[in-house]
A and B are shown apart, each in its own frame.
Chain A
């Protein structure tokens, strides 16, 4: 082959574009890191394992429901199953902080609490957990957001926040 001059030819406009792209990327990195670490908006992190076919033995999910751990501080243990949540409804006073613990006794489900930042994949064998503070009274649906069988569309529950 002829000895041709090899080089990475970069057009001046292209060079500007590359620099701008790298700067934008740096800004994105910073923004994600800051948003991830400092505004208290958490994504789920591993909390516990359970045996989906024997939730009775798990202690906490043997009797699902709302537990008050301190004034206006609750833990909600919810079991997802085809095609309902147990319990379907919980009631807390406005201003409460509720930490949700959700697991499944059969297939995968979803748990999205409307108009909040709570959105979790519910995977059998795992416990999904996020917390939220309810400032405004009202009704908040939690809906199943993962396909779980033919009647998936009917699977939902409610948090009632009373004044």
Chain B
């Protein structure tokens, strides 16, 4: 699964989240199974097994509860959500619950007939990930042969069925030179949107950081290319960019603020404020099998822990940006400082920032090691080895 951009405040005027107690979006990891093995996958390194996955009826109930809670958009994700043979039934429940539906897929498992079926049930938006526009490099990154050709087909079926199409392109050292070509590719596919999603360094991407981290210079070049493309292709394609926070001055407003806009349901039904939240080892997560979604959202410990700004320490506590970026990412703060209430080291005001930013500088200029591919068990072998 790639990063999902939180529903954000761009637009005519976007929904003011403070008026809305309900989350705007729900990310459902229907499964962690996936035929690809992208080394930056944002699934946890400890992948959930098929035997623990929620049943069809349980997922359908999650969709109904989401509708009642006032959630607006659901992202059907994974792993690869289409490996679930009951995707149609889950989607159907989501559509009937009045949710705006988005399928986040790598595409390689889809056929034309199934795409048409999904459209008929009411799928609104297909978000198709690519690994690169250079087919051989894409194969190498995903450890999967011939993916790109398949993705091109999928993009055309999505268009044929009248669904919205986004190309999601995770960007890193191994493909950053192709950013302009990726944008052109998305246009040729007929996509309405492309996400130039610089990899965020959690989970698998953290394991592979030194292989994936681009240099500051190549990042700046790519950012400029995106700026130029936005001018050139205005009204033709929307280009969204997720910035790598190693090269930013202030952190991103992670998830639009903890427990403010988005919730995430794992394959086994655990409800998280963000897909990486399980890395904060002292948090306890509720499961949809034990508790109603609304109750978890409003009263669950993990949600209330870092909701709002009360939990903050200095320098965030007295910072004018605290309602803008909410102190950055709790998971990153925890991973790097041992305390999730600290300022995210991605912030230039964090005492750890300089040391942290240097990591990117050093790693991006060193010889990249081999990928640790995303597969069950792979992380354990390698952690500690490096």
Whether both chains belong to one complex is answered with: no
Hey, which bits of chain B sit against chain A, CB under 8 A? none
